[in-house]
Structure formats: structure tokens, C-alpha cells
Amino acid sequence: MKKILLKVFALLIIASMFLVACGGGATTEAPVATEASETEAPAATEAATPTDIACGPDPVVLKASFETGFDIPFKLAEEFTKQYPNVTWDISQDQFANLITTTPLVLASDNPPDLLRLPTMVSFAKDGLLMNLDGYADEYGWNEWPVPQLNQNRIAEDGTRGSGALYAMGLNYSLTGVFYNKELAEQIGMTEAPKTVAEFEDLLARAKDAGLLPIMQWGSAKSGMGLAFPLQHLMAAYGPVGPINDWIFQKPGATIDTPSNLIAAQHLEEWIKNGYFPADINAIEYTDAAARFTQGEGVFTFNGDWQNAGYDAGMPGNVGFFLFPPAEAGGAPAAMSAPLTFGIAANAKNADCAAFFLNWVATDDAARTINVNIGGSNPGGPLGATMPSAAEGSVTNETLAAGPVVGEAGNSMDFIANATSSIFAQGWTPELQKLVGGQQDAAGLLQAVQSEYVRELSQ
Amino acid sequence: MTTNHRHATPSRFRWIFQHWNIQRNTIIGWLFALPALIIYTLFVLQPLVLTVQYSFYKWNGVGPKTWVGLNNYITIFQDPDLIGTIINAFLLVVWFSFIPVGLGLIVASVMHRVATGKFGAVARTVLFLPQVIALVAAGIIWGWLLSLPGLINQVLKAIGLGTITRAWLGDFDWALPAVGLIGIWVLLGFCIVLLSTGITKIDPALYESARIDGASWLREFVTITIPLLRYEVGVCLTVTVIAALAAFDIVYVSTAGGPGNSTAVPGIQIYILAFTQRAIGLASALAVMLMILVIIVILPIQWLNRENKV
């Protein structure tokens, strides 16, 4: 009898094993995915109404997901606990590339983080995984803040960015432009920042003639193609920023293949042919380019203010910054400016406290000082908020001063690499690498990226 | 009737007992295999079945799935970039498989004839070492070696070949061979160890008689070593061809598919599609295609191997 039982038991186990193999996925995983979108979809369109905006007197543990390698949110969390001792943190961290893969799963889990760094956001918002922050925006008066700050975090019902409901806030707002090596710039006779693209190109030619590398830039597929930076600055110099933003925000009918962008790409192609970039650019990674620039290789480099601390440390007092000049004298300069996006999970347990934190970051003086000193970027916030000053001689002072210039002109753009989640990896990077290798021309570059864009949006 | 019945009962009982005995052994065997089977089912079979299932859907990994039938497969055949990755994978077979196996045969045979004893052991250890080093670390080190200011270019300059220096991993013509070189470095040791072991199993009398007849190393190599190492060569080919077609780690840490798409392989493309673009369906379809491709290439090698043994 025992043996028969054993036999039956063994058969049962084997049978159940095959059931797991065949039906397991269908019965456990798939419904979770569809259920999540069905039950949470209303939450996405219906704005959250804050009941008690503050972290309250009771102990709160904010669950957070931050990006490894960026100190700002950690330092801000520390300061927040100092000011509000009832709030403690449960922080997990991961590399940006891993956040892209893990964030959707974390958001869809039973215990999602209250506050999280968003590597991308449109698809999460569409799937109802992110909290609509409009309620908090009304409560805290975020909508009165200078317009471009919040626009990039708005998502319309058709999934286009730039307008609609608010799904994220920026911890700070980065700014891009041209960094230069002061000693080398002096050597080629640069006394002030160039006022037009032609003046800048003249400086490049002089650097080349002097036997210097005009521009240090990275281009390895491992860190993504850095020539996208000069290209986008050229685009904004030869055309308006509106259509570029429309393309990034996936507005219907938007195209990157425009006549003014073609002029921009042709200039970049000429720079490449003139040998203004390192010969091995296709193999240079981001960190290598930053290191080589601080070691004196390259008069200029296109980058953003997140690198300020690195440049200050590597070449103290010897690094300067200017906004990329317009095509015509007297025109307004443009720059890429992207928020360091943080959102709140749709099912967050302490959403009110997380929203309070986001407001505190932009409005509290101590928080703003941390933001400037550690991140090097503009902390944003309401008009008229005091701007903390960075250490004397830091390039951060130059990037902070440049921010309002771009802001007043209304010439800030998101990054063309952020248009879709893989346009950088599948479009810009390979096509710009081909441009360097002489296997692609300016017109072909824009056509190829545009068709990749259309292909990705259709999938 | 009764006697018959009485007679029948013990015999039937014995039959049942014997049968039960066999079945009992079978069941015990299955129970021993059960833990492994459960793990295999959970971590190999289930993902495999799910991958095939996902390949028929348009899905971003979180939201609702849409049934699209064979559309993902049609997309793969229509997209020149995706087909290009498969062509690159076959080019890598030359570097990851043919060269290490060919070189491995020669080195193993030379070591067997010349480097016996301690020197042979040291040589085998050194050549096998790359198998022990984490591929990611190796990829990063190779990235430095092959960079423009790297050691390889410095050596080339020192011996008067300064004109051919370049950023090997960033050059359209040389990136794939450079990645191939890393592959050779990794896989050569594996082939040598396997083939050396095979050679030691060959009857030394064969070599002795060949030498008495005055056979050269080449003669020994062609008439004794290669034919008798067929089985080991088959194993080497199988492992290295799979390493080439399913390559991911070496390529990802050295070039990430660049420059352009010159080193893009299906493994990289599947990763980008699934985790960056979040096109889980298309990524799954490409993964299924890759699996079928590997099977198509590997089966003839296995089959030839078996034929040769007979």
C-alpha cells in the first residue's frame, strides 16, 4: 500500500512539474501583467488627490530607488531626515542601464517604491504604473514655476510628451554647452566666448593649425555616441528648437529630417572631415573622453553640467564653459536641458510624503545648496528662489549663470537621444559612427535616424 | 478450476512482484532525477516555452499583450539590420571556432611531441587561463590593449609599423577581427586542453611505429592525430560554434555592437530589443530564430561526429 502511495505521489509530482512547464507562465505571469494595466489604468488618468500633504508626525519609511553613481538624491535624503527626523529611508540603487530593465517590474510589484529615479517614463505612465502628480502640482503651486521645467515631464493621453498630465519632477535641471581648456584656448587666441558658429569654427581651425585636438568627444557604442551633442547644438543654431522638441516628444508627423537639420549635419560632417575630433572617437567611452580632456587633450568638449565636479577636480581653475553660439550674431543661444526625473509609483504607500520631498528639494535652501554643490545643476523651483552659489573658481558658477540666458530665450531642448527608448542605441549611435567612418553622409544620417524612429514608434 | 486458480495466484503474484520491482527501480531513478528535473523545468524549459509564446505577441513587458501571429518573424526577415546581425554571427564562427580548433590541433600535437613533462603542464595552464578569467574583466582589458594609445599599437610603433596603428575596436574593417581575436584568446585554451587529453588516449605504439618508419611531425599529424581526434574535434566545434552564434558578453563589453553595426550580433540585438526598446515579442522571435539557427548548424556537426565514430 505504501509503495502504491509512493508511486501515485511520484506520478503526481512529475505531472505537476509538466503542468508548471506548460501552463505556469500562462496562469501566473500573464494575468498579472494585464490585470495591472486594467485595474491601474484609471489611476493614470485620474489625478491623485492629496489628503494630508506632509510627512506627518508619525514615523515614515520612504522606499526609494536611486541611480548608482549619482550622489545627489542620497545627500538630499540625508538632509531631509535631518530636518524631518520621523522620515527614514529604505533605498535601493542600481546602474542606469539596469534601471531601464528593472523599473517596470519594480513598479508593477506589490510593494513599489514611493520615490524613484525614472530612466524613461512614457510607457510606465501609459501602463498606469506612475502616479499622476497634477493634484500635488495644484497643491504646491508647481504649475506657476517657469514653464520649461515641468513640460518635459508631462504626458498627454496619446502618449506624447511636453503637455498633459504631470508624471514626474526633476530633482534638478541639467544644461549642456561647450567646456573649454582655458590654457589651450588662450594659446589659440580665444579671448572671449565665440558669438557665432562661424567664430567657433574659426577657433576650431586655429586649434587644428596649432597642432592641438580641437574637440574631445566620445563615440563608443558602449556609452553611446557623443557626437549627438555637437549635432543637436548645431541643429538649434540653424533652426528653431520647437520642431526638435516636437520630434523628441513624439508629436504626430514630427521629423528630424528637415532642411535646417541637414545644414547642421553637414557642418558636423565637415568638422569630422577636417579632423576636429579624435581619430579613435568610435572607440572612446564617455569616462575616457572626460579623463583625456582633463589631462589636456582637446581645446573644447561638448558636455553637460553634471560633469562639472569631475572637470573641477581634474583641471581646477583651468576649465571654462560657454553656451553654443547661434548661427547669426545677436541670435539667442540654445541648450539641452533635461530634468533629473523622479516619479512616484501609482501604488506607492507614502505618496504624499514623497511629493512633499519633491517640493522640498526645489524650495528648501539647504536642499538647493546641496543640489548645486554636489550635482552642479540648476535646482529649478519657483521664480525668484535664491540661487546658491558654488565654490569660487568652480565651472558650476558659469553653467548656473548660463541657465537663465537659455531660459529667457525659451531655447531649451530635451536630448534627441531621448526621443524613444532605443533611438540612441539603434539610431544615432550607429549612424553617427558611420558618419565618422565615411560610410554615411549628412543627408543619409537624418534619413536613417528618421526611419528608425518611425519603425520604433510603429512597434 | 480451483487448482488452476491456486496455481495462477502465486505466478501472477510473482509477475506483479517482478514487474513492480522493475517499476520500483524506475520510480526510484525518477526520484533521484527529480530535483534536477524540477530545476531544469523551471529555469530552462519554462523560459523556452514562454519565449516561444511571447514571440507571437506585441508586448512591452508590462502592459497588455497583443496577438500578432507571425508578424515578429516577418519583421526579422524584412529588417536588414536584424539579418546583418545573423551574418556577423556567422563571420564570428571563423574567429571563435575554426581558428581556435585549427590552432588547438596544431598546438596540442606539437606539445604532445615536444613539450612533455613540466613544460607541457605549464604551457597548458597558461593557455587555459583565459577560461578562468571573468569575460567582462577580460573584455575591458582587451579594450585598453586595443585602444589607440594601447599596448598593441605601442608595440606596432616600436617595431616600425606605426602606419597601421588604429583604434582597432572603433574601426569599421577591423572591429570584427579584433573581437574575433579576443574570442581566439578565450577559446584556444579550451580547445587545447580537450584535444591534448584526446591525444594522450591515442595508443603511443601508433606514433612509435610511425617514427620508426621515419614519419615527420606533419605526417603523424595528418595520418594519426587528426583522424583519431575526430570525436574531440566534434566537441570543440560544437562548443565554439555555439559560443560564436550566441555571442554576447565578449561583444557587449568590447564594442557593444559598434562601430555602426559592424559587430552587432543577435545576442546584442535581442538584449537591446528586449530591455532597451522593450519589444519583448520581437526580441523573443529573434531569440527563437537564433535557437533554430544554432540547432541547424550544430546538428550536422553532431551527426558527422557519430558517423565518423562508426
Q: CA A270 to CA A215: how far, in whole Å?
A: 13
**pLDDT in the model for residue A275:** 96
**pLDDT in the model for residue A158:** 85
Q: Which fold does the domain A176-336+411-458 belong to in CATH? A: D-Maltodextrin-Binding Protein; domain 2 (3.40.190)
**pLDDT in the model for residue B136:** 85
**pLDDT in the model for residue B307:** 62
**pLDDT in the model for residue A17:** 41
Q: CA A288 to CA B144: how far, in whole Å?
A: 10
When pLDDT is cut at 50, 70 and 90, the band that residue B112 belongs to is confident
Residues of chain B contacting residue A34, judged by C-beta atoms under 8 Å apart: 64-65
**pLDDT in the model for residue A22:** 40
What would the pLDDT profile of B45-69 be if each residue is shown by its tens digit?
999 999 999 999 999 887 788 999 9
Instruction: Give A449→chain B minimum CA distance, Å.
Output: 12
Task: Give how far the C-alpha of residue B31 lies from the chain's centroid of Cα atoms, to the nearest Å.
Answer: 31
Instruction: Give A421→chain B minimum CA distance, Å.
Output: 5
Point out the residue among B24, B34, B272 whose CB comes nearest to the CB of A3.
B24
Chain A with chain B: Cβ pairs closer than 8 A: 155
Instruction: Give A337→chain B minimum CA distance, Å.
Output: 22
A17: number of Cβ within 10 Å: 18
What would the pLDDT profile of A171-185 be if each residue is shown by its tens digit?
988 999 999 999 999
Q: Scan residues 150-179 of B and list those with Cβ closer than 8 Å to A.
A: 166-172
Give chain A's residues under pLDDT 70: 1-53
**pLDDT in the model for residue A265:** 97
Average per-residue pLDDT for chain A? 86
Q: Do domains A60-173+339-388 and A176-336+411-458 have the same CATH topology?
A: yes
Mean pLDDT over B176-193 rounds to 92
A110: number of Cβ within 10 Å: 6
CB contact under 8 A, A430 and B257: yes
**pLDDT in the model for residue A42:** 38
Q: Does B74 touch chain A (CB under 8 A)?
A: no
Look at residue A319 and give its three-state secondary structure: strand
Look at residue B17 and give its three-state secondary structure: helix
Q: For A355-371, give one letter per residue: b (16+ CB within 10 A) or e.
A: bbbbbbbbbbeebbbbb
Point out the residue among A25, A107, A221 whose CB comes nearest to the CB of B53.
A25
Q: Can you list the alpha helix ranges (DSSP code H) found in chain B?
A: 2-40, 46-54, 71-78, 80-93, 99-113, 117-132, 135-145, 151-158, 175-201, 204-212, 217-220, 226-228, 230-245, 249-254, 266-271, 280-309
ipTM for this prediction: 0.82
**pLDDT in the model for residue A92:** 93
CB contact under 8 A, A26 and B31: no
Residues of chain A contacting residue B45, judged by C-beta atoms under 8 Å apart: 21
Comparing C-alpha atoms, which of A264, A273, A344, A335 is closest to residue A305?
A: A335
With CA atoms as reference, the chain A residue closest to B58 would be A459
Mean pLDDT over B234-241 rounds to 93
CB contact under 8 A, B167 and A29: no
Mean pLDDT over B108-133 rounds to 83
Point out the residue among B168, B264, B275 whose CB comes nearest to the CB of A100.
B275
Residue B104 has pLDDT above 90, yes or no: yes
A424: number of Cβ within 10 Å: 20
**Extents of the domains making up chain A:** 60-173+339-388, 176-336+411-458
Q: Does B142 touch chain A (CB under 8 A)?
A: no
Instruction: Give B122→chain A minimum CA distance, Å.
Output: 35
What would the pLDDT profile of B201-237 be if each residue is shown by its tens digit?
888 888 888 888 888 888 888 888 888 898 899 999 9
CB contact under 8 A, B46 and A129: no
- Do the beta carbons of residue A168 and residue A133 sit within 8 Å? yes
Q: What angle do CA A282, A288, A294 make, to 5 degrees?
A: 125
Q: Which fold does the domain A60-173+339-388 belong to in CATH? A: D-Maltodextrin-Binding Protein; domain 2 (3.40.190)
